[in-house]
Amino acid sequence: MSNYKKVLVAIDGSDESDTIVNKAVEIAAANNAELSAVLVFEPLLGSYSFELNMADFEKVQKEHQARVADSARSSLVEHGIPASHVHFLAGKPATEIKKLVAESSVDLLVIGSHGHNPIRAVLGSTANAVLHGIGCDVLTVRV
């Protein structure tokens, strides 16, 4: 195993995130590495109802993101990841994760695979997109 100095775990706020975080904590501890986490919020445009005006839609989206962020933050703190090492970003997950990896000199990215859907490839679409062009090792955790 490589000697990792900076480990980043990518989560999505789902129930499976704990499994992914547990693996990242284990690897970071074994390498005495700094551990950070990232959660990228995608716009909820696919859920947009024509009955909502844009101001209401933005309010609903912000409330949703705040709930997910609060839940993720408290879960990550329980795993020993300080709030200062938790990144909440907005945009396309693969793009934002790759940018953060490059900016933070991350050695290892830990991300979940979502291979349950037979239409998808072995990896989930975000994990698969992250693999292309990333400058560090990537561990995909089966969830």
pLDDT for 136 beyond 60? yes
Q: Around Cβ 111, how many Cβ atoms within 10 Å? A: 28
Mean per-residue pLDDT, 40-68 = 73
pLDDT for 47 beyond 90? no
Binning pLDDT at 50, 70 and 90, where does residue 72 land? confident
- Asked if 7 and 34 count as a contact pair (C-beta separation under 8 A), the reply is yes
- pLDDT (tens digit per residue) in 112-124: 986 443 333 434 6
Mean per-residue pLDDT, 90-100 = 93
pLDDT for 43 beyond 90? no
Q: What is the DSSP string of the chain?
A: ----SEEEEEE-SSTTHHHHHHHHHHHHHHHT-EEEEEEEEPP-GGG--TTS-HHHHHHHHHHHHHHHHHHHHHHHHHTT--GGGEEEEES-HHHHHHHHHHHHT-SEEEEEE-TTSTTS-SS-HHHHHHHTT-SSEEEEEE-
May I ask the CATH architecture of the domain 6-142? 3-Layer(aba) Sandwich (3.40)
Q: Where are the domains of the chain?
A: 6-142
* Predicted pLDDT at 116: 42
Mean per-residue pLDDT, 4-31 = 93
Mean per-residue pLDDT, 73-84 = 91
